[in-house]
Amino acid sequence: MSSAEKIQEIKNVIGSVTLVAVSKTKPISLLQEAYDGGQRIFGENRVQELADKFEALPKDIQWHMIGHLQSNKVKYIAPFVHLIHAVDSESLLKEIQKQALKNNRTIDCLLQVHIAKETNKFGFSAEELLEFISRKDLQNDFPNISFKGLMGMATFSDDQDLVRSEFRTLKSTFDTVKAHFSEDQFTEISMGMSGDYLLAIEEGSTMVRIGSSIFGGR
Ligand SMILES: *Cc1c(COP(=O)(O)O)cnc(C)c1O
């Protein structure tokens, strides 16, 4: 099956949930094939690769930065990035604000919550995030950032109960944090990857990030 056919198959299952086709490490030709099949949202986790693919591919693609983002690299994607998924610190927000202003645009962001048991994953803890949100007036402090919602990654595990409970934590954190923003703006919960997206959707995901099930293993 081609990547375009796999995308169609996944879209039939996920319905109105947004599909981010995660194309990291994959060649331009494969992304072009998915594009020709109608896919317009792609996710990458490295700044250089994202910028190179943006240059090489049609300009109506919405590019999502899904990986950990270092402040000193924001400038390379600020002119074109559609959504930054993994915002995990105030200093990163400050840099995104600065670069968004410089480019005279508003950049959409998701705040990353650390929901997994694994310590190698990034993000605010739910407690930290709630504290941060109530201490700050984010929309006022970062006028060129539009806060769209939350993102999280569950533990990489076959334990469905564990993964489900982590997604639940993200959903309930979202429900609490949402009250601090305008309702029509803070709408997205980015959770679910190739191995766990059905579970994620059951628990309220609005956006899934799927790579290997579309493009094959890496
Ligand atoms: C690679 C990656 C994905 C996609 O993973 P698959 O298991 O290949 O679907 C999703 N989210 C993030 C943050 C990633 O880095």
Q: Is there a contact between 128 and 114 (Cβ–Cβ < 8 Å)?
A: no
- Measured in Å, residue 210 CA sits from the centre of ligand 1 at 6
- Measured in Å, residue 218 CA sits from the centre of ligand 1 at 10
- Measured in Å, residue 211 CA sits from the centre of ligand 1 at 6
Q: Which pLDDT belongs to residue 203?
A: 98
**Mutational pocket test of ligand 1: of 20, 42, 44, 45, the residue with most ligand atoms within 8 Å of the beta carbon:** 45
Share of the chain above pLDDT 90, in %: 95
Q: Which pLDDT belongs to residue 165?
A: 97
The DSSP output letter for 212 is H
Which tens digits make up the pLDDT trace of 71-127?
Answer: 999 999 999 999 999 999 999 999 999 999 999 999 999 999 999 988 777 899 999
Ligand 1 atom nearest to 213, measured from its CA:
9
- Measured in Å, residue 36 CA sits from the centre of ligand 1 at 22
For residue 151, what are its two tokens? 């993102």
25 lines ligand 1 (CB under 6 A): no
Q: What is this structure's pTM?
A: 0.97
- Count of beta carbons in the 10 Å neighbourhood of residue 94: 15
212 lines ligand 1 (CB under 6 A): yes
Q: Which pLDDT belongs to residue 118?
A: 83
